[in-house]
A and B are shown apart, each in its own frame.
Chain A
Amino acid sequence: MDLHHFTIHELHLLLKEKKCSSEEITRSVFERIRKVEPKVHSYVTLTEEIALKQAKKADERIREKDFPPLLGIPIGIKDNFLTEGIPTTCASKILANYLPPYNGTAVQRLLDQGAVVVGKLNMDEFAMGSSNETSAVGTARNPWDLERIPGGSSGGSAAAVTAGECIAATGTDTGGSIRLPAALTNTVGLKPTYGRVSRYGIIAFASSLDQVGPITKDVTDCAMMLQAMAGHDPRDSTSLNLPVPDYQKTLSRDVSGWKIGIPKEYFIDGLDPEISASLNEAMKTFKKMGAECLEVSLPHTDYGVPTYYILATAEASSNLARYDGVRYGYRNQEAKDLIQLYQKSRSEGFGPEVKRRIMLGTYVLSSGYYDAYYLRGQKARTLIRQDFEKAFEKCDVLLTPVSPTAAWKVGEKLDDPLKMYLSDIFTINVNLAGLPGISLPCGFTRSGLPIGMQLIGKHFEEEKILRAAFSYEQATEWHMRRPKL
């Protein structure tokens, strides 16, 4: 039995019926890793020894009658989640060998359920990138075509899930970092509402945009993972103190009478015709299920990318100031004085994309430029949020593309940051507005590359986009496909 290809809910049943053990699942996952990891390179750190211990512990707990849905399930953790005693590097040289003394809240909640930690997943350095190519340890590859990128920044998470190197994975999404790689790898990725999942113990990139979410093989798994991680955390002042609904219970195949908004600004010339066609098919599927598709407008859509690159970099320039070589992380040993220590440690520790963003962010916050950039960026952000509020007066969820193209070749956009930044054009505004968005499989290109669609919901209405996604998933079979590796 290829246990590593199963979903969480399938394995949960098998465990319940004692048809397999967590140890068997875990061993199957590591077998798979041994086979495909040299090609895919999803992981920065593997924790087989820890995982097997956790699996054995889980098997003891399974003897009890009821057990949590993630008990004994091998999960991959993106390498910007702090994990006690397990290196957490953010795929950066500046944090190479960094051993956190504590677990972040999301990780702790997974561990509390008894999840098994497979290892730490590859990503763009400090989550800054759309292709995984800014990782200091090398690019994770797209299992659907190893010449191509898996998307980013949670590229390792998406690649590992689709390749069977873990059952599900965690990701973070600041401008599309969960949804884009999910779309490019035929997986399901959810970015919850800002404030739904605690950011405590996540290495910050842009604090007002960062959000934790899952990457999974299907929508049910996605709901289960979100359930485990969501909820108020007194350690994160921006996490909202709202009750968390039972997401799995709300999953049903029922969207009849729903209004699905199609923002016209998202169906532009740059959108790959094959993706456009797939989305049109998806709309037809929704109509068949009794939903209505109607055109809506988000007039400030075009301001999203520039606004994002002002606000996100401003916050990042400040968030990354603590990596200074003084207390932990990489330190240049030849520095003769304090200024040299800072300059050399940071110049050598950070990669080019991170440095580019720190410089951008420092610039937009500088005296004399603050009003022209940061303040205007905040105003534009308000307009973008208001666009969504207006659109949601007319519809329940929005349906959009995730990426303008399917997975591109390694190196294709690396020398052109602007081109790279534009690959987030359909996901970024969701972060700026703080809304929940899910990416799910909706087709393949003729050359066999996955296509994803995005469903966007109102604040704290994850259950609605999950339900729409579940309904669509039940009506289609795209999510069942696995890459040949």
Chain B
Amino acid sequence: MNYEAVMGLEVHAQLLTKSKLFCSCSTEFGKGPNQNTCPVCLGLPGTLPVLNRKAVEFAIRAGLATDCQIAAKSVFARKNYFYPDLPKGYQISQYELPICLKGRVEIEVEGIKKTIGLTRIHMEEDAGKLLHEHPESRSREASWVDLNRAGVPLIEIVSEPDIRSTQEAVAYLKKLRTTLVYLGVCDGNMEEGSLRCDANISLRPVGQAKFGTKVEIKNMNSFRHIEKALQHEMERQKEVLTEGGKILQETRLWDTEKEVTVAMRSKEEAHDYRYFPDPDLLPLLVDEPWIAKVRQELPELPNTKKERFVSQYHLSNTDAEILVSAKGIANFFEECVKQYPDAKKISNWVINEFLRMIKADETQIPKSLLTPARLAETFKLVDEGKISGSVAKTVLQKIFETGQPPEKIVEQEGLSQISDDSSLEKTIDEIIAANPKEVERYKAGNEKLIGFFVGQVMKQTGGRANPAKVNELLKRKL
């Protein structure tokens, strides 16, 4: 029997607010254990939450960008459970009345467009972190609680069960991540856990309308793991069903080392969270003027930016698509164009060279020593005939590594262009002498071989020869 997968994703995105959701502690990552804490986020007796309005604004932004309805009234609820990383014994979340409802995200897989529905986006606070080994003593006798993350604002974005393949799941998640980063509400960093994803997945025979029994998969913290975990879980469920077995409704953990999903808890063992409205917080009221203001201040989103790039910079659709795939890359491109207005040239270089340098990871851009100004300086050296285009590549790679100005690199490494006839002629003569067969074939009419000779000259001169000059001299000599 053929089976079809039915998937829905729950994505937790950490909001980029400066302070926590219910107190004024910093949200900065990487501080010493429990440095970013106060009586409120430590859950000390007598403390009360006060809502961070910026976090609400960020949630509204995310809702507007995904075509959600923004609820005029939403309610914070307590999700009650015991765990040492949860200082109050409950997490403040939204349950029956979330802030955003009924949105959608457009994805494209292998040229086919599809809409993934969003059930809701709700706000909640993050929990702390447990360390089961002391960082210094490596003792496993106790567990250590770090509450820096406790109270950091999150939004949980819940999709409809509209996803049918791992490719769609990855495309959806990538689109969502790009959108959130564009909105400036989340840094999208999956390694640091700023973006986390759980999946609900079930199989059903192709053609059947009713959903099968779903399994929740947790602990997938990269795109690669998500793809692998979902693929593995689909195969596992298919095997069970093919053998006539039944899928148990349960939560499974993705084991990143063994690359299998492992049962964590069954439906019967599921927590009863005893949700109820948090009496310490008033209902959250969002009026039309507030929504209108946030809408007006929404940053440009990928689709709009792509269209603008095509019309403003005369780029191809494909190139524009690549440039807007990440906000950081698009910004870098535009910064470069400001300093060096040949957009086509910049676009080619960013797509062919820069993306490789930063390993297509926009989070590397702020760390890059190669700034738009340095890029412009290098390109100007080419225009002025001081270095060749191929040397420019080497220079830019060097700038990326050292941050030095291009003139200095050219000078230090002796990379300036050779346009001087006599020295070039000498090299060309040597190459003609060393390749008699090719010379013969060229003379017999294979003119394409000119490229081979140019290449040899460039190789010999370490790319420093002026290609136009070389061409001219070669043709004359041959």
Question: Is B452 interfacial (CB-CB < 8 Å)?
Answer: no
Question: Is B286 interfacial (CB-CB < 8 Å)?
Answer: no
Indicate if the CB atoms of A374 and B280 lie closer than 8 Å. Answer: no
Question: Is B90 interfacial (CB-CB < 8 Å)?
Answer: yes
Which residues of the other chain, B, contact A366 by a CB distance below 8 angstroms? 272, 274
Smallest Cβ-Cβ distance to A233: which chain B residue: B48
Indicate if the CB atoms of A326 and B145 lie closer than 8 Å. Answer: yes
Which residues of the other chain, B, contact A320 by a CB distance below 8 angstroms? 89
Known: A100-B45, A318-B80. A237 touches B282 (CB 8 A): yes
Which residues of the other chain, A, contact B45 by a CB distance below 8 angstroms? 82, 88, 90, 95, 98, 100, 203-204, 322
Indicate if the CB atoms of B84 and A338 lie closer than 8 Å. Answer: yes
Q: Which of A200, A338, A374 sits near B276, CB closer than 8 Å?
A: A374
Smallest Cβ-Cβ distance to A325: which chain B residue: B84
Cα distance A328–B46 when bound, in Å? 13
Chain B: residues with Cβ within 8 Å of the partner, total of 28
Question: Is B44 interfacial (CB-CB < 8 Å)?
Answer: yes
Q: How far is the CB of A477 from chain B (nearest CB, A)?
A: 39
Question: Is A199 interfacial (CB-CB < 8 Å)?
Answer: yes
Indicate if the CB atoms of A321 and B50 lie closer than 8 Å. Answer: no
Smallest Cβ-Cβ distance to B272: which chain A residue: A367
Indicate if the CB atoms of A200 and B272 lie closer than 8 Å. Answer: no
**Size range of the interface on A?**
35 or more
**B264-280 CB contact bits vs A (8 Å, 1 = yes)?**
00000000101110011
Question: Is A370 interfacial (CB-CB < 8 Å)?
Answer: yes
Indicate if the CB atoms of B39 and A102 lie closer than 8 Å. Answer: yes
Q: How far is the CB of B181 from chain A (nearest CB, A)?
A: 31
Which residues of the other chain, B, contact A234 by a CB distance below 8 angstroms? 50
Question: Is B82 interfacial (CB-CB < 8 Å)?
Answer: yes
Question: Is A248 interfacial (CB-CB < 8 Å)?
Answer: no
Known: A237-B51, A318-B274, A367-B274. A327 touches B145 (CB 8 A): yes
Which residues of the other chain, B, contact A100 by a CB distance below 8 angstroms? 44-46
**A228-252 CB contact bits vs B (8 Å, 1 = yes)?**
0000001111100000000000000
Indicate if the CB atoms of A207 and B49 lie closer than 8 Å. Answer: no
Question: Is B368 interfacial (CB-CB < 8 Å)?
Answer: no
Q: Which of A237, A322, A327, A362 sits near B280, CB closer than 8 Å?
A: A237
- Chain B at the A interface: SS class: loop
Which residues of the other chain, A, contact B281 by a CB distance below 8 angstroms? 237-238
Cα distance A314–B276 when bound, in Å? 9
Indicate if the CB atoms of B88 and A321 lie closer than 8 Å. Answer: yes
Question: Is A173 interfacial (CB-CB < 8 Å)?
Answer: no
Indicate if the CB atoms of B50 and A235 lie closer than 8 Å. Answer: yes
Q: How far is the CB of A218 from chain B (nearest CB, A)?
A: 29
Question: Is B87 interfacial (CB-CB < 8 Å)?
Answer: yes
Cα distance A239–B377 when bound, in Å? 60
Q: How far is the CB of A1 from chain B (nearest CB, A)?
A: 37
Q: Which of A104, A327, A362 sits near B42, CB closer than 8 Å?
A: A327
Smallest Cβ-Cβ distance to A200: which chain B residue: B48
Indicate if the CB atoms of B43 and A327 lie closer than 8 Å. Answer: yes
Cα distance A374–B282 when bound, in Å? 18
Question: Is B471 interfacial (CB-CB < 8 Å)?
Answer: no
Indicate if the CB atoms of A101 and B44 lie closer than 8 Å. Answer: yes
Question: Is A267 interfacial (CB-CB < 8 Å)?
Answer: no
Cα distance A98–B45 when bound, in Å? 10
Q: How far is the CB of B113 from chain A (nearest CB, A)?
A: 40
Q: Which of B46, B80, B82, B87 sits near A203, CB closer than 8 Å?
A: B46
Question: Is B47 interfacial (CB-CB < 8 Å)?
Answer: yes
Smallest Cβ-Cβ distance to A342: which chain B residue: B82
Indicate if the CB atoms of A237 and B48 lie closer than 8 Å. Answer: yes
Which residues of the other chain, A, contact B80 by a CB distance below 8 angstroms? 317-318, 321, 365
Q: 6 tightest CB-CB pairs across the interface, nearest first?
A: A321-B89, A365-B274, A208-B279, A207-B279, A201-B46, A82-B46
Chain B residues with a Cβ under 8 A of chain A: 39, 42-51, 78, 80, 82, 84, 87-90, 145, 272, 274-276, 279-282
What are 17 A-B residue pairs whose CB atoms fall within 8 Å in the complex?
A: A88-B45, A90-B45, A95-B45, A102-B44, A201-B46, A203-B45, A204-B280, A234-B50, A236-B48, A238-B279, A318-B276, A321-B89, A322-B43, A322-B45, A326-B87, A326-B145, A327-B145
In addition to A90-B45, A102-B44, A374-B276, 14 A-B residue pairs with Cβ atoms within 8 Å of each other are A82-B45, A98-B45, A100-B44, A199-B48, A204-B45, A204-B46, A237-B49, A238-B279, A238-B282, A314-B276, A322-B43, A326-B84, A327-B87, A365-B274
